[in-house]
């Protein structure tokens, strides 16, 4: 059987039948939308309108709309990758479903540039709808948490673009729910959310739109389980000036430090007391200001072996 | 024969472990769903728990014999077979569902837990684990994770890798390691090593337990069935469903040959035999799906179907799905053997690929019926043959090879949910260029450099040199 003597690469494309597109990793939201919107598709996993997709992927595992669509690694199905020595390879496929060899794609997406960088991504797109909006719940934190729990355990959670717990201090919290849907379904969502709010004495504020929220790149990301994510966000907001957002379904806390903070020092101060507890749950943390350390000699030797085989410096 | 030197040494080291060596016992382990490729192991070990499994791996590692892990053996790619001889470790006794955490939306299960067993256990919680390969009544979670299994309802819900939060594994030296856990992150590790383990087809480590993500069960389901006289109208229906805001959980296609197979059997449901069949499902909150049902039906009608049926009644829904579910069991009525391929293609290439499959199979005189998880572009042509008939197997393998080349040429993937095993390992050189192949090879170099775990799988050069 004739073996390939060259690398295959993805060329930029959009497939309006399959709902996949190959775009430069440097593209930001508007660049992607310019290609996808005219064909009725969208890529919803955007944290920050201005920042490149590669920077967003490097700083976070998930965006608010991961509540509905999963983390970045479930929505980037292929990429062109440049190793540190400038050799380029294709990783993954242009079709959504594949189990062909080892899953280097998902591994690399979580490596924060230690083994090179993506130059193009193949994105899984989603149908764009003409309706939706943002619904805020306000009221006592116990009632808000109860509302979040009910939504998390109902099948409505599959259809909510996002459900995020926003907090800027121990006494301050809101539940923000994003919805992206056909215009004629918007009243159904509103009625359901209204019944949940009314049953708990919560106030609702509604803004119509497309349900997308842009919170910006967090300084610190914490990964835990869905039943612990709100309390973790609350704990983080006890640090002065810190804003924290719990992405309820992906069970991520995005932490935003006040401007002028010495980010690396503060991140370490926040993370060290938490790390063991998060790790015991199989969770963890990542920050664009501080690199996670290797875990003992085993991981160091695995990384060294991988780096040697991949021809990159460990 | 109930004793061999290897078995005797194993029993001296681990006195009460169950170890099989008689030919009658080994015969049950010589093949998987790819039944015509047979490899008899030298020994089958059935450990009673994870600790014993770890000791068995450590022992076999020291003995320098190939080690193959096996769940229910329902793989369709020649994965859990002793292709280079050696020992099979059968995980059938690791069947504990250790914990279901409804609040945290996760569960902890041992690798031998069966998919339907898990579903039954989850029923009272109102939660579910969505991947649903058709072998669900038999297959194990361990096998599902090893091959990154999918199923009919994966178009919206995703495949196994979307639901594995953590894995506990036995490394080659017999040590237990955990990657991830209930929270689904890296755990203490800097890198996300579990990504390599999931879908690795038993070539890196032995799974013992998993932490799986759970999700609320749908409140209501609507099932749709429609037939189409030609491929063009069928494609219109698929394309319309794929971008419908109801986001169907399943879009299943049967070609006219598959429909005819059902309709000429005792499982006939009254479909026109020369038509394509689409079965689709939507699910979600009742208020939403009830509103969407008519518009989904309209998409099917607008594409050109004159007989769209849809229902939310569970009995009727089962009838609408009956032809699709019945087909697999009917294959053996045509020929004693079958090979089901598992390519994923861009959906716009469906006509090209189906035409190619028909032309190749008809020319070779090999009956073929095709089904497809159409939402994902996951094509399953079933080539029916008789491996005892000289030349039949060679014909099927030639068609498969040519089909896979065509799949790659249209931008598709070799496998969507069955894995590579030893069935498609020869084609891997057509997928990866020199550098990307080196990157692939680097992964077993880290964890299983001598290829003692499951040799001759995924890449044909992975031969264990004892």
A87 shares its domain with A18: yes
**Beta carbons of A4 and B198 less than 8 Å apart:** no
The residue written with tokens 């569960």 in the block is B107
- For chain A, 314 residues long, give each residue's pLDDT as a single digit of tens: 678 999 999 999 999 999 999 999 999 999 999 999 999 999 999 999 999 999 999 999 999 999 999 999 999 999 999 999 999 999 999 999 999 999 999 999 999 889 999 999 999 999 999 999 999 999 999 999 999 999 999 999 999 999 999 999 888 999 999 999 999 999 999 999 999 999 999 999 999 999 999 999 999 999 999 999 999 999 999 999 999 999 999 999 999 999 999 999 999 999 999 999 999 999 999 999 999 999 999 999 999 999 988 877 65
pLDDT of residue A95: 96
For residue B83, CA distances in Å to A108, B5, B207 come to 31, 21, 19
Q: B27 falls in which pLDDT band (50, 70, 90)? A: very high
A112 inside domain: yes
**Structural domain count of chain A:** 2
Nearest-by-Cβ selection for A281 from B147, B182, B435? B182
Q: Is B326 left (phi over 0), alpha (psi -120 to 50) or beta?
A: alpha
Is the ipTM higher than 0.95? The answer is yes
d(C-alpha A151, C-alpha A230), whole Å: 14
- Inter-chain CB proximity A282 and B181 less than 8 Å: yes
Please tell me the number of Cα atoms within 13 Å of A308 on its side-chain side: 8
Contact check, Cβ <8 Å, B413/A98 = yes
- Cα–Cα distances (Å) from B165 to A295, B186, B214, in that order, read 19, 9, 10
Contact with chain B for residue A311, Cβ under 8 A: yes
Residues A19, A123 within the same domain: yes
- With contact defined as beta carbons under 8 Å apart, do B281 and B223 qualify? yes
Secondary structure letter of residue A305 according to DSSP: H
Same domain, A118 and A144: no
> Is residue A45 located within the same domain as residue A98?
yes
- What are B362-391's pLDDT values in tens digits? 999 999 999 999 999 999 999 999 999 999
Q: How does DSSP assign B351-398, residue by residue?
A: HHHHHHHHHHHHHHT--EEEEEETTTTEEEEEEEE-TTSTTHHHHHHH
Give residue A314's pLDDT. Answer: 56
Tell me if B90 sits within 8 A of B207, measured CB to CB.
Answer: no
Q: For the purposes of burial, counting CB atoms within 10 Å of the CB of B3, is it exposed (0-12), middle (13-18) or buried (19 or more)?
A: exposed
Give the C-alpha separation, A59 to B234, whole Å: 43
* Residue A224 belongs to some domain of the structure: no
Query: Is A253 a member of any domain?
Result: no
Whether residue A64 sits in one domain with residue A169: no
Q: What's B32-71 look like in SS3?
A: CCCCCCCCCCCEEEECCCHHHHHHHHHHHHHHCCCEEEEC
Biggest CA-to-CA distance, chain A: 69
The CATH number of the structural domain formed by B5-90 is 3.30.43.10
- How is residue A184 written in tokens? 């004629």
Verify that A46 and A117 share a domain, yes or no. Answer: yes
pTM reported for the whole predicted model: 0.97
* Same fold across B5-90 and B220-331: no
Question: What tokens were used for B356?
Answer: 């190619």
| Same domain assignment for residues A123 and A154 | no
Domain-terminating residue out of A187, A208, A229: A208
What are the φ and ψ backbone dihedral angles of B72, each rounded to 5 degrees? -90, -10
Distance CA B214, CA B129 (A): 5
Q: What is the CATH number of domain B220-331?
A: 3.30.70.2190
Q: Which residues contact B205 (CB under 8 A, 6 or more apart)?
A: B169, B170, B171, B172, B177, B197, B447, B448, B453
When CB atoms are compared, the residue of A90, A293, A302 closest to B436 is A90
Question: Are A155 and A78 contained in the same domain?
Answer: no
| Closest CB from A98, A110, A226 relative to B105 | A226
Question: B97-216: what fold?
Answer: 3.30.465
**Measured between CB atoms, which of B178, B195, B416 is closest to A103?**
B195
In chain A, what residues touch B122 (CB-CB under 8 Å)? none
Contact B435 A70 (CB under 8 A): no
With tokens 């919290």, the residue in question is A173
CATH 3.40.50.2020 fits B337-409, yes or no: no
Task: Express each pLDDT in B284-327 by its tens digit.
Answer: 999 999 999 999 999 999 999 999 999 999 999 999 999 998 98
Q: Which of residues 240-259 of A touch B (CB under 8 A)?
A: 251
Interface test with A, best of B188, B405, B449 (most A CBs within 10 A): B188
- Residue finishing a domain among A156, A178, A208: A208
Query: Within its chain, how far is the Cα of B211 from the centroid?
Result: 19
φ, ψ of residue B381 in degrees (nearest 5): -75, 135
A99 lies in some domain? yes
For the domain that residue A43 is a member of, what is the CATH number?
3.30.465.10
Q: With an 8 Å Cβ cutoff, is A279 touching chain B?
A: yes
Q: Is residue A226 part of a domain?
A: no
Return the domain boundaries, chain B: 5-90, 97-216, 220-331, 337-409
CB contacts, 8 Å: B242 with chain A: 17-19
Please give the residue range of the domain that contains residue A44: 13-127
Last residue of a domain, one of A150, A175, A208: A208
Residues contacting residue B358 through CB under 8 Å, at least 6 positions apart: B368
């Amino acid at each position: 059987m004739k073996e390939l003597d060259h690398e295959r690469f993805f060329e930029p494309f959009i497939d309006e039948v399959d709902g996949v597109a190959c775009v430069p990793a440097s593209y930001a939201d508007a660049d992607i939308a310019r290609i996808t919107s005219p064909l009725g598709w969208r890529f919803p996993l955007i944290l920050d309108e201005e920042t490149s997709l590669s920077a967003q992927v490097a700083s976070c595992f998930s965006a608010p709309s991961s509540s509905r669509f999963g983390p970045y690694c479930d929505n980037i199905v292929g990429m062109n990758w440049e190793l540190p020595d400038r050799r380029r390879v294709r990783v993954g496929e242009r079709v959504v479903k594949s189990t062909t060899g080892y899953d280097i794609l998902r591994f690399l997406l979580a490596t924060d540039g230690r083994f090179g960088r993506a130059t193009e991504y193949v994105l899984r797109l989603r149908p764009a709808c003409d309706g939706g909006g943002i619904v805020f719940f306000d009221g006592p934190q116990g009632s808000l948490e109860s509302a979040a729990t009910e939504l998390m355990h109902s099948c409505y959670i599959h259809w909510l673009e996002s459900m995020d717990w926003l907090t800027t201090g121990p006494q301050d919290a809101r539940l923000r729910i994003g919805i992206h849907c056909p215009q004629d379904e918007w009243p159904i969502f509103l009625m359901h959310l209204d019944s949940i709010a009314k049953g708990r004495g919560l106030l609702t504020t509604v803004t119509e739109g497309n349900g997308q929220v842009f919170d910006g790149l967090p300084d610190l990301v914490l990964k835990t389980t869905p039943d612990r994510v709100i309390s973790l966000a609350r704990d983080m907001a006890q640090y002065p000036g810190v804003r924290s957002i719990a992405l309820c379904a992906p069970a991520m806390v995005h932490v935003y430090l006040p401007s002028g903070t010495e980010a690396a020092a503060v991140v370490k101060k926040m993370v060290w007391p938490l790390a063991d507890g998060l790790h015991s749950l199989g969770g963890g943390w990542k920050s664009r200001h501080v690199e996670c350390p290797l875990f003992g000699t085993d991981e160091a030797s695995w990384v060294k072996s991988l780096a040697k085989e991949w021809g990159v410096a460990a | 024969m109930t004793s061999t030197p290897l078995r005797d040494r194993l029993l001296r080291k681990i006195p009460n472990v169950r170890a099989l060596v008689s030919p009658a016992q080994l015969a049950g382990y010589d093949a998987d769903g790819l039944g015509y490729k047979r490899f008899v192991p030298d020994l089958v070990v059935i450990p009673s728990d994870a600790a014993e499994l770890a000791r068995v791996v450590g022992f076999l590692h020291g003995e320098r014999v190939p080690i193959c892990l096996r769940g229910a053996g329902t793989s369709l790619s020649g994965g859990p077979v002793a292709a280079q001889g050696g020992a099979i470790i059968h995980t059938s006794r690791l069947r504990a569902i250790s914990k279901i955490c409804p609040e945290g939306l996760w569960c902890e299960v041992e690798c031998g837990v069966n998919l339907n067993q898990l579903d039954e256990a989850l029923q009272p919680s109102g939660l579910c684990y969505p991947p649903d390969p058709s072998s669900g009544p038999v297959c194990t979670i361990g096998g599902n994770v090893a091959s990154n299994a999918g199923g009919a309802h994966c178009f919206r819900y995703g495949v196994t890798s979307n639901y594995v939060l953590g894995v506990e594994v036995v490394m080659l030296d017999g040590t237990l390691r955990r990657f991830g856990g209930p929270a689904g992150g890296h755990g203490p590790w800097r890198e996300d090593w579990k990504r390599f383990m999931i879908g690795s087809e038993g070539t890196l480590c032995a799974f013992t337990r998993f932490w799986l993500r759970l999700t609320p069960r749908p409140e209501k389901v609507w099932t749709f069935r429609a037939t189409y006289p030609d491929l063009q109208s069928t494609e219109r229906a698929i394309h319309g469903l794929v971008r419908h805001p109801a986001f169907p959980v399943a879009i299943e296609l049967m070609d006219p040959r598959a429909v005819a197979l059902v309709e000429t059997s005792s499982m006939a449901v009254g479909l026109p035999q020369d038509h394509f069949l689409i079965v689709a499902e939507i699910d979600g909150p009742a208020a939403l799906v009830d509103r969407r049902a008519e518009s989904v039906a309209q998409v099917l009608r607008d594409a050109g179907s004159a007989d769209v049926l849809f229902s939310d009644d569970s009995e009727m829904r089962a009838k609408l799905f009956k032809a699709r579910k019945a087909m697999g069991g009917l294959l053996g009525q045509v020929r004693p053997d079958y090979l089901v391929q598992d390519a994923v293609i861009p959906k716009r290439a469906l006509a090209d690929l189906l035409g190619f499959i028909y032309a190749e199979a008809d020319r070779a005189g090999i009956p073929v019926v095709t089904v497809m998880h159409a939402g994902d572009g996951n094509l399953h042509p079933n080539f029916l043959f008789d491996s005892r008939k000289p030349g039949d197997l060679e014909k099927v393998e030639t068609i498969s090879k040519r089909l896979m080349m065509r799949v790659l040429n249209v931008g598709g993937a070799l496998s969507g949910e069955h894995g590579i095993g030893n069935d498609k390992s020869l084609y891997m050189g057509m997928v990866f260029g020199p550098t990307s192949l080196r990157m692939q090879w680097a992964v077993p170099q880290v964890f299983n450099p001598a290829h003692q775990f499951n040799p001759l799988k995924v890449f044909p050069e992975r031969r264990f040199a004892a």
